[in-house]
Amino acid sequence: MSYTPEQFTEMSERLHSIRKEIGRFIVGQHEAVDFTIYSILADGHALLEGLPGLGKTMLVRTISEVLNLSFSRIQFTPDLMPADITGTSIIERLENGRQQFTFQEGPIFNQMVLADEINRATPKTQSALLEAMGEKTVTILGDTKDMQKPFFVLATQNPIEMEGTYPLPEAQMDRFLCKIIVPYPSKEELTEIVKRTTGSTTVELQKMMNAHDLLDAQQMVKEVLIADDMLTYAVDLVAATHPEADTIEEVKQFVQYGSGPRGLQSMIRMAKARALFAGRYHVSIADIKTVAKPVLRHRLLLNYEGEATGITADTIIDQLLLQIRQGQTI
């Protein structure tokens, strides 16, 4: 291991300072903030889902400001075109009168990209993000361009059942490291939100990190150790999401497709990020259990019976966590 325990502790303290700084502006939403930070540390993209007006957009904007990353916001609408995201080549007239094609970068060419209300755009436009999210490149007219480092897509969406939305394709859902549910605030949080947003006081956020520091933190996440029994537990958990496997009754009855290998990779990366956040250089069972829901909930595709009965992926994952024990398969 190329990092010392003291460096892990120092980074953990710095990350907690970042969370505290975000909390100076964002009221509550502690779980959403934590999982978003874990996703960024794990070098992955996150999907935030919640009703309109819950502060999803402001959360992403605040995190980008505190981390001092270049930021762009794409408002997804039904008439948005792929070129509006990636950019396009335009004809530019030179001083000598000749003309040449010049590439004009789209908003995707930033370190943190907010895809706001991503499920309001058509599937064709949604898929324009696939290459950038998966390969961290964009190909325009055969010319491949690299994204900035670090590069994150933090997307927000309204619940699928709301009018005027397009469900994201399974292939794109799988590109997101995790899906974070943004809950409705409590009465106390509502009171604090009103105090902060309707008064004359404005919060000046401090820049607590930069791109170089964040890349270093991501490298530290990769150095976090995971024991064989922890890895076996994560494998058992992911394998049990498949209805054809030896698994629990709820999965056999209500799940059509379970998580693929990317779900396991995402779980390990998120668990390592949580361990670093806690100042540890090894993954614990609590790390895996904590990140299981956000990592797996969008990777479980329910069958017709599951949809009809109203059971949720979170309920099934809860049952898996209850019935699968470390070192003991079903």
Q: Is residue 193 over pLDDT 80?
A: no
The residue from 221, 242, 268 where one domain ends is: 221
Same domain flag for 192 and 228: no
The residue from 186, 204, 221 where one domain ends is: 221
The stretch 149-157 carries a mean pLDDT of: 86
Give bridge partners of residue 47 from the DSSP assignment: 155, 179
pLDDT of residue 291: 92
Same domain flag for 216 and 228: no
- What pTM did the predictor assign? 0.85
What is the domain-level CATH number for residue 200? 3.40.50.300
pLDDT of residue 1: 55
Say if residues 181 and 141 touch (Cβ distance below 8 Å): no
Same domain flag for 181 and 119: yes
**In this predicted model, what pLDDT tens digit does every residue of 257-309 receive, in sequence order?**
888 888 899 999 999 999 999 888 889 999 999 999 999 988 888 888 888 88
Q: Is residue 321 over pLDDT 60?
A: yes
pLDDT of residue 259: 86
pLDDT of residue 274: 93
**CB proximity list for 40: less than 8 A, separation 6 or greater:** 46, 63, 67, 150, 152, 214
Tokens linked to 180: 């974070």
Say if residues 62 and 21 touch (Cβ distance below 8 Å): no
Same domain flag for 156 and 235: no
User: Which amino acid, 324?
Assistant: I
Q: Is residue 41 over pLDDT 70?
A: yes
**In this predicted model, what pLDDT tens digit does every residue of 202-220 receive, in sequence order?**
777 778 888 888 888 889 8
Looking at per-residue confidence, does 201 or 123 come out higher? 123
- How far is 284 from 229, CA to CA, in rounded Å? 10
pLDDT of residue 164: 62
Same domain flag for 10 and 111: yes
Same domain flag for 165 and 267: no
DSSP 63-109: HHHHTT--EEEEE--TT--THHHHEEEEEEE-TTS-EEEEEEE-TTS
Looking at per-residue confidence, does 147 or 282 come out higher? 282
The residue range of the domain holding 281 is 224-330
- How far is 274 from 53, CA to CA, in rounded Å? 28
Give bridge partners of residue 302 from the DSSP assignment: 255
- How far is 188 from 330, CA to CA, in rounded Å? 42
Q: Is residue 226 over pLDDT 80?
A: yes
Same domain flag for 159 and 239: no
Same domain flag for 182 and 304: no
Same domain flag for 28 and 134: yes
pLDDT of residue 159: 73
Cis (ω within 30 of 0) for the bond into 150?
yes
Judge residue 210's burial from the number of C-beta atoms within 10 Å of its C-beta, 0-12 exposed, 13-18 middle, 19 or more buried. Answer: exposed
The residue from 199, 221, 243 where one domain ends is: 221
CA nearest 324: which of 265, 247, 217? 247
